[in-house]
């Protein structure tokens, strides 16, 4: 599992278990409770020992009916001395009564660029050179975090189609439990979700009353490597 995989992986939808993303969108909140702009800083650690391998910042900006999200992740500490790495993700689109509706997602890492383009009028989404039918409620790998916070899951599961810039796939997010998470801003009540991402398992902790972005994300890779991304600072 590479560092960028961790970041590539972000009111009533789950009060009614097993809803599709489109159905969930119909009952999602029509307005967001958070400031119109802000950012969240993260430390990225590997293993159970808390060895810091990177840092990340995710920014959001809402203006009228449009939104912009940006994620920057890079190696840090001793890891950066031996292997410098930086990846940037951006998602732009529209804010609708059913949540976010992406128009374009771009990921730049190393010398490569991946792009997903959403054409809601034609009903298609293009990942690179591949074009697929566009289903209502489809998100990209960055906007999905914000969308899940809007849905405020509490139980059951929700399925969301996600465009990654390489492919379109359906992901199932299952509610595990309500948990108290220790943060730099004090204990926060969170909802723990879990999803399978290929051969990996992703867990994320949402606190919609505090932030539109997860306060913690972990990835357990197929080979047993654990990556842990924890929020360190929320700025509005």
DSSP 134: P
pLDDT per position as a tens digit, 21-31: 444 444 344 34
Task: Let me know the angle formed at the C-alpha of 194 by 190 and 200, rounded to the nearest 5 degrees.
Answer: 140
pLDDT per position as a tens digit, 147-163: 999 988 888 999 999 99
Task: Identify the pLDDT of residue 105.
Answer: 98
Distance CA 91, CA 102 (A): 7
> What are the C-alpha distances in Å from 11 to residues 23, 171, 189?
13, 19, 16
Task: Identify the pLDDT of residue 30.
Answer: 38
In whole numbers, what is the pLDDT of the chain averaged over residues? Answer: 83
Task: Identify the pLDDT of residue 12.
Answer: 26
Q: How far is CA 207 from the centre of its chain?
A: 13
Give the global pTM. Answer: 0.82
Q: What is the CATH architecture assignment of 3-235?
A: Clam (2.50)
Task: Identify the pLDDT of residue 234.
Answer: 67
pLDDT per position as a tens digit, 195-228: 988 789 999 999 988 888 999 999 998 778 899 9
For residue 24, what is the enclosing H or E element? Answer: helix 21-27
Evaluated on CA atoms 59, 63, 64, 70, the torsion sign reads: negative
pLDDT(176) > 60: yes
**Backbone φ, ψ for residue 223 (5° rounding):** -85, 0
């Amino acid at each position: 599992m590479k560092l960028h995989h961790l970041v590539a992986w972000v009111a009533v939808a789950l009060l009614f278990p097993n809803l599709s993303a489109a159905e969930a969108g119909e009952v999602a909140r029509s307005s967001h409770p958070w400031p119109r702009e802000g950012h969240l800083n993260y430390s990225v650690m590997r293993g159970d020992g808390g060895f810091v391998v990177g840092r990340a910042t995710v920014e959001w900006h809402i203006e009228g009916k449009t939104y912009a999200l940006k994620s920057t992740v890079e190696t840090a500490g001793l890891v950066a001395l031996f292997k410098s790495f930086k990846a940037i993700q951006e998602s732009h689109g529209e804010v609708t009564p059913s949540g976010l509706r992406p128009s374009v997602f771009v990921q730049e890492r190393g010398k490569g660029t991946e792009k997903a383009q959403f054409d809601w009028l034609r009903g298609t989404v293009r990942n690179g050179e591949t074009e697929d039918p566009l289903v209502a409620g489809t998100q990209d790998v960055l906007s999905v975090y914000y969308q899940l916070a809007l849905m405020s899951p509490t139980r059951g599961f929700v399925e969301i189609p996600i465009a990654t810039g390489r492919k379109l796939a359906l992901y199932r997010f299952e509610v595990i439990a309500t948990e108290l998470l220790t943060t730099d801003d004090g204990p926060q009540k969170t909802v723990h979700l879990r999803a399978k991402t290929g051969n990996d398992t992703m867990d994320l902790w949402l606190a919609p009353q505090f932030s539109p972005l997860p306060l913690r994300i972990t990835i357990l890779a197929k080979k047993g490597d654990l990556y842990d991304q924890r929020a360190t600072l929320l700025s509005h």
